[in-house]
Structure 1
Amino acid sequence: MKGTSQWFTIGLVSAWYTSNIGVLLLNKYLLSNYGFKYPIFLTMCHMTACSLLSYVAIVWMKAVPLQMVRSRVQFTKISALSLVFCTSVVSGNVSLRYLPVSFNQAIGSTTPFFTAVFAYLMTAKREAWLTYLTLVPVVTGVIIASGGEPSFHLFGFIICVGATAARALKSVLQGILLTSDGEKLNSMNLLLYMAPIAVVFLLPATLLMEENVVGITIALARKDTKIIWYLLFNSALAYLVNLTNFLVTKHTSALTLQVLGNAKGAVAVVISILIFRNPVSVTGMLGYSLTVIGVVLYSEAKKRTK
């Protein structure tokens, strides 16, 4: 039984890695290489899939118990989280139009830095000095990587930093807003409510900022039906990322997930370079390596101070 459990966990981690890296690479391919330049519409497709598949998994298949929204105040809090979540995902997708996946992942590794900053500003929560010290190589590594990045794009860099900050803000806000026992939701139920709200936010943004995107997609599909399959598969992968994230956390621990996430970033960098053949420099790789080392030290420092 123990051996079966270990293989099950390995399978979950593999599925989590595959879905995470897969959706990232497919986003890059669609938005940059394929020429489908509609990141807001792409994000709306992701959120629509997450809405439908979350409903099927929780309400029909009973994968996890359904947790109800208990008050208008709780709904307002979930809506606020959804808005920040939308901002992070859309910004991340926009940045992929301008930056290679390797550099995108390097910037994304600074999430602990922004999390620590927002936690201090919003809750006055202070970490141990050793924890703050480990953030120095995290930020320094990205600065070095930026200077040595052959495909550096200022707008893409700013948007990617914004996406990383929004991701950290969502994490801190979730801890602040949904803290009482009556308001806590597991990640699957939170996605069930956040995803359709995200669609409501994204629909007008798509219509205003990506005019006639539906008509353009239909016209593109008549020339190349693969775009429909790309969008469907990409959207299903986006849901699988959230599902496997929940399952890996459930069967391991949040700390294990964080460690695996650090390694996933490095794997994504290597695979993206092999697939897209984007130019890399020794300086850039040294900078990214320093950032990864900093994140690992940060995780270790957090574990010791608990």
Structure 2
Amino acid sequence: MVNKWTLSIYGFHFPIALSIAHQAFSFLALAPFMLTKHNRELHLPTITKQWPGLLFVSVCFAINIGLNNISLLSISLSLNQVIRASIPVFTAIGSVMIEAKPPSRQEFLSLLVLVGGVAIAVYEGSSTKSSFWGIVLCLIGTMCNGLMMSSIGRLLTEKLDVLRLTFYTAPVAGFVLLPFFNRLEAESFQDYKGHGSTWIGILLLGCLNALLYNLIHSLVIKVTSSVTTTVIGEMKIVLILLLSAVVLGESDVWTVKLMVGTTTAILGFCMYSHARLHGQSMGPPVIIKGVPELAPSLTDSIRAPLMGGGVSSIKSWS
């Protein structure tokens, strides 16, 4: 919501610059802790061994958050969240292609329900040219997120907590986004005056919000369980949809078709989460590898002590 407000309502129309700022802030905020003696000894062997996987995660993450933030310029936060709820679909496709692990029958049926709901919502939300391209960019970013999640287990052989993973990937993701900023936003950014210097404070607020989200996400996982975190993740989507209508004034986008599609998508999302959690309870305990901007419904397959990201990202953090 902070990102949507910053980009669309406040008028800071530089989504790539916003994404780079989040990455730079995360890296600098984590640097004092990561440069302690204990952590310094881990950096060289980890990077030497893991650099291909870290590079792949960084590129996918940069595309994901960059395109997601760009999409917020032309589509509502509500539609953005409905589309991003389809991450399990792309993760399942990636699991089949990369790891040869097809979904169970219950998971497959829930994915069909989810796809149907997203399709209805997307069709209803693509009535204008600008929203059409916003939807396309959001879908591509979501695909990259799903690809990253489905392949990270094979690429990262060492279990990394999200503090270290974010510290390693944030500067790379920022550098990946930098050429796009220079090409698309640098010239207009130099002329941007904003409302005095308040835009700098707003940027820092968004960066701090993203970092706090990740830290709190980590604490929730440590003191509760993946089941609790998944339930919270599902409630988060519902709350974002409600708050976007009340706080951001997006109630006018809630047509009957969009409401039907959103409800169907959330139902499929819940069914998929239930199927994954049921499958997890039938097997041995799962160690999850930390991933920035991790969708809570998927964390039962790739989670460890999280500082988070998502989303958003450091979640682009809707």
Shorter-chain TM-score bucket reads 0.7 to 0.9
> Is 1:277 the counterpart of 2:249 in the alignment?
yes
Count, aligned residues: 275
Letter in 1 for 2:256: V
Q: Matched residues, percent identical?
A: 29
* Aligned pairs for 1:138-157 within 5 A: 138-149=114-125, 153-157=131-135
Contact kept in structure 1, 2:110 and 2:269, CA below 8 Å: yes
Q: Deviations over 1:155-180 (max 9, x none)?
A: 0011111111111111122211113x
Q: State the Cα distance separating 1:233 from its structure 2 match.
A: 0.8
- SS of 2:186 mapped into structure 1: coil
Structure 2 CA distance for partners of 1:67 and 1:240, relative to 1, 3 Å: farther
Equivalent residue number for residue 102 of structure 1: 78
Task: Read off the aligned partner of 1:162 and give its amino acid letter.
Answer: I
Letter of the 1:261 partner, please give it.
G
Mapped partners of 1:225, 1:178: distance in 2 = 42
Query: Which stretch shows the higher mean deviation, 231-240 or 86-95?
Result: 231-240
SS of 1:276's equivalent in the other structure is coil
Distance 1:116 1:267, change over 3 A: same
Tell me whether 1:166 sits opposite 2:144 in the alignment.
yes
Checking the alignment, whether the CA contact within 8 Å between 1:58 and 1:66 is kept in structure 2 is: no
Residue in 2 that maps onto 1:293:
267
Tell whether the 8 Å contact from 1:188 to 1:242 is kept in structure 2 after alignment: no
Following superposition, the deviation at residue 83 of structure 1 comes to 0.7
Tell me how far 1:61 sits from its aligned partner.
Answer: 11
Equivalence map 1:1-306=2 (5 Å) = 25-59=1-35, 67-70=42-45, 71-149=47-125, 153-179=131-157, 183-212=158-187, 214-217=189-192, 220-221=193-194, 223-278=195-250, 279=252, 280-306=254-280
In structure 2, the CA distance between the partners of 1:31 and 1:77, relative to structure 1 (3 Å rule), is same
Q: What is the distance in 1 between the residues matched to 2:137 and 2:66?
A: 9
Alignment partner of 1:52: what SS?
A: helix
Find the aligned partners of 1:57 and 1:283 in 2 and give their Cα distance.
49
Q: 1:30 to 1:67 in 2, by over 3 A?
A: same
User: 5+ unaligned residues in a row in structure 2: which ranges?
Assistant: 281-318
Q: In the TM superposition, what is the alpha-carbon distance from 1:207 to its structure 2 partner?
A: 1.5
- For residue 247 of structure 2, give the secondary structure of its aligned residue in structure 1: helix
Q: CA deviation at 1:73?
A: 4.2
* Partner Cα separation in structure 2 for residue 73 and residue 59 of structure 1: 19
Amino acid in structure 1 at the alignment position of 2:17: F
Gaps of 5+ in 1: 1-24
What is the alpha-carbon distance in structure 2 between the residues aligned to residue 226 and residue 66 of structure 1? Answer: 40
CA deviations 1:151-205 (Å, max 9, x no partner) are: 76110011111111111111122211113xxx22111110011111112222232
For 2:264, give the aligned amino acid. Answer: L
Q: Which amino acid aligns with 2:220?
A: V
> Quick one: distance in 2 between partners of 1:262 and 1:94?
24
> How far 1:65 moved relative to its partner?
9.8
Match for 1:45: what amino acid?
A
Secondary structure of the corresponding residue to residue 148 of structure 2? helix
Distance between the aligned counterparts of 1:240 and 1:151, measured in 2?
36
Contact 2:126 2:132 in 1 (8 A): no
CA distance 1:100–1:249, change in 2 (3 Å): same
Structure 1 distance, partners of 2:34, 2:24, is 16
**Paired AA for residue 63 in structure 2:** T
Q: Give the direction of change, closer, same or farther, for the CA distance of 1:284–1:69 in structure 2 (3 Å limit).
A: farther
Partner Cα separation in structure 1 for residue 248 and residue 76 of structure 2: 8
One-letter code of the match for 1:300? H
Higher relative contact order (CA 8 A, sep 6+): 1
Question: 1:251, CA displacement in angstroms?
Answer: 2.0
Deviation of 1:150 after TM superposition, in Å, equals: 7.9
Deviation digits for residues 86-130 of structure 1 (CA, Å, limit 9, x no counterpart): 000001100100111111111111111111011111111122111
